[in-house]
């Protein structure tokens, strides 16, 4: 099968938008949670479960779609998943109770998980390792626009049309993406490259991935970096707003600064990864993150205090995350050629599941200080850096020049 790639910018725009569907599904309706709680006459905490169940459904859905996308092809899984996402989004808009909304969010997450798996598989079909990391970086640049714009868009939709309109827009975006990707990109996996679909085959593929030290080493780096992100998402509202007294309406500016730096460094990764290689770029990103983690620990240990003793180091930690994620994913997929869908699925499940565990653990050990956030983020980063050094110095990883 001779796959004809569409124009590069078109490809990146479509796949970046597909990768951004989950941030849209999470962030766009956050401003509407109080209004939804009021309409359903339930506490706000009840509506917050709609975020948790989405993350859980999203994690589990990826395990299902990995074998399916390798055996059935990319387009059937993508169109089926986005179709489910669109229908579940309409069900969210029509929900008459919090329970109905929560159930619809689970289905929405199960559908949306297809996009996360397929986008990586499509890129791996179309690009070799370092070029994959470059394309993935550009796609993540597009994806990172979603968490910047989604809360603002969602807020205006809520103000003008009501919270139901948010889910209707999500349904329309999913349907449009399914149609455009099917027409413009199309199927990229040849029939002869698809293993037969059965439970034992799927479990066998996952066993082979788990036994591959190179693949799982890079997966572990991605898991630890994602845990750092989930720790920040869990702990930063308390640390910034409650502990340091940042007005709630200004919290988004501090959050957005991390996204802007992440986009800038991801752009640099896209520019230089073909020249320097994915292994080196991954090391650079982890070094910057470890520097931020060290500064974060030292600032708290020596009582430097102040908001910027957290904000500054956190920028160094969060900024390289796009660079680290793109290269870690590229290297893990390269280590298991022929099982891109399953590798992406298992990695996505482990990242979301591990991040959810870290976030839950932080909630249990909550203290009236930034220390829970500081220690969790720093330890996760140091562990990711140690994994990288173990792989490279132990010559488990591919050479840096390859």
Per-residue pLDDT reduced to its tens digit, 234-254? 777 778 877 888 876 577 678
Q: Which CATH superfamily is domain 8-196 in?
A: MFS general substrate transporter like domains (1.20.1250.20)
Mean per-residue pLDDT, 256-273: 86
- Structure-token match 């990864």, residue found: 273
At 370, is the pLDDT very low, low, confident or very high (cuts 50, 70, 90)? confident
Q: What secondary structure does DSSP assign to 151-206, as a single string? A: HHHHHHHHHHH-THHHHHHHHHHHHHHHHHHHHHT---S-GGGPPP--HHHHHHHH
Torsion angle, alpha carbons of 115, 117, 122, 127, to 10: 130
Confidence (pLDDT) at 117 = 83
Question: What letter does residue 355 receive in the DSSP assignment?
Answer: H
- Specify the pLDDT at position 386: 93
Considering only CA atoms, give the Rg of the chain: 21
Task: Give the pLDDT band (50/70/90) at residue 373.
Answer: confident
User: Looking at 32-36, 113-117, 360-364, 370-374, which range is the least confident one?
Assistant: 360-364
**pTM reported for the whole predicted model:** 0.71
How many angstroms separate the first and last alpha carbons of the chain? 27
| Alpha carbon distance 275, 265 (integer Å) | 16
Tell me which CATH code domain 209-393 carries.
1.20.1250.20
- With beta carbons less than 8 A apart as the criterion, state whether 121 and 69 touch: yes
Structure tokens given for 210? 């788990």
Task: Read off the pLDDT of each residue in 14-25 and give the average, rounded to a whole number.
Answer: 86
Cα–Cα distance for residue pair 67/340, rounded to 1 Å = 9
Q: How far apart are CA 202 and CA 219, in angstroms?
A: 19
pLDDT at 101: 93
Q: Is 43 exposed, middle or buried (0-12, 13-18, 19+ CB in 10 A)?
A: exposed
Axis crossing angle, helix 44-72 with helix 199-211, rounded to the nearest 10: 100
Closest CA to 48 of 98, 113, 112, 104: 98
Residue, of 381 and 199, whose pLDDT is higher:
381
What does the pLDDT look like over 220-239, one tens digit per residue? Answer: 999 999 889 878 877 777 78
Helices (H), 245-339: 251-276, 278-301, 308-318, 321-335
C-alpha to C-alpha distance for 344 and 177, rounded to whole angstroms: 20
Between CA 361 and CA 372 the distance in angstroms is 10
Q: How far apart are CA 215 and CA 222, in angstroms?
A: 11
CATH 1.20.1250.20 domain span(s) along the chain: 8-196, 209-393
Rounded Cα distance between 359 and 2, Å, is 44
């Amino acid at each position: 099968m001779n796959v004809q790639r569409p124009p590069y910018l078109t490809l990146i725009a479509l796949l970046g938008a597909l990768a951004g569907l989950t941030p849209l599904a999470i962030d766009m309706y956050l401003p509407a949670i109080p209004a939804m709680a009021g309409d359903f006459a339930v506490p706000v905490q009840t509506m917050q479960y709609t975020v948790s169940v989405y993350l859980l459904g999203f994690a589990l859905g990826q395990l299902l779609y990995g074998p399916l996308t390798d055996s059935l092809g990319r387009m059937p899984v993508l169109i089926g998943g986005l179709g489910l996402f669109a229908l579940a989004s309409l069900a969210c808009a029509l929900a008459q109770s919090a329970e109905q909304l929560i159930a619809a969010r689970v289905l929405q997450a199960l559908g949306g998980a297809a996009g996360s798996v397929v986008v990586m598989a499509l890129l791996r079909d179309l690009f070799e390792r370092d070029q994959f990391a470059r394309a993935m970086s550009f796609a993540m640049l597009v994806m990172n626009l979603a968490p910047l714009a989604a809360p603002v868009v969602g807020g205006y939709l809520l103000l003008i049309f009501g919270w139901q309109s948010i889910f209707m827009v999500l349904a329309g975006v999913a349907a449009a993406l399914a149609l455009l990707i099917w027409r413009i990109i199309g199927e990229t996996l040849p029939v002869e490259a698809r293993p037969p679909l059965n439970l034992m085959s799927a479990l066998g593929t996952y066993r082979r991935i788990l036994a591959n030290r190179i693949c799982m080493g890079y997966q572990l780096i991605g898991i630890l970096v994602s845990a750092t992100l989930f720790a920040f998402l869990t702990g930063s509202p308390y640390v910034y707003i409650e502990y340091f007294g940042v007005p709630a309406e200004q919290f988004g500016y501090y959050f957005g600064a991390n996204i802007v730096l992440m986009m800038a460094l991801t752009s640099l990764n896209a520019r230089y990864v073909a020249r320097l290689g994915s292994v080196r770029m991954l090391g650079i990103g982890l070094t910057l993150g470890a520097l931020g983690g060290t500064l974060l620990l030292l600032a708290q240990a020596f009582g430097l205090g102040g908001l910027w003793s957290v904000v500054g180091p956190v920028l160094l930690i969060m900024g390289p995350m796009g660079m680290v994620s793109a290269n870690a994913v590229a290297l893990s997929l390269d280590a298991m050629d022929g099982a891109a869908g399953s590798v992406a699925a298992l990695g996505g499940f482990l990242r979301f599941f591990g991040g959810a565990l870290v976030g839950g653990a932080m909630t249990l050990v909550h203290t009236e200080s930034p220390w829970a956030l500081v220690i969790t983020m720093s330890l996760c980063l140091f562990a990711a850096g140690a994994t990288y050094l173990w792989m490279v110095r132990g010559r488990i990883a591919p050479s840096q020049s390859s």
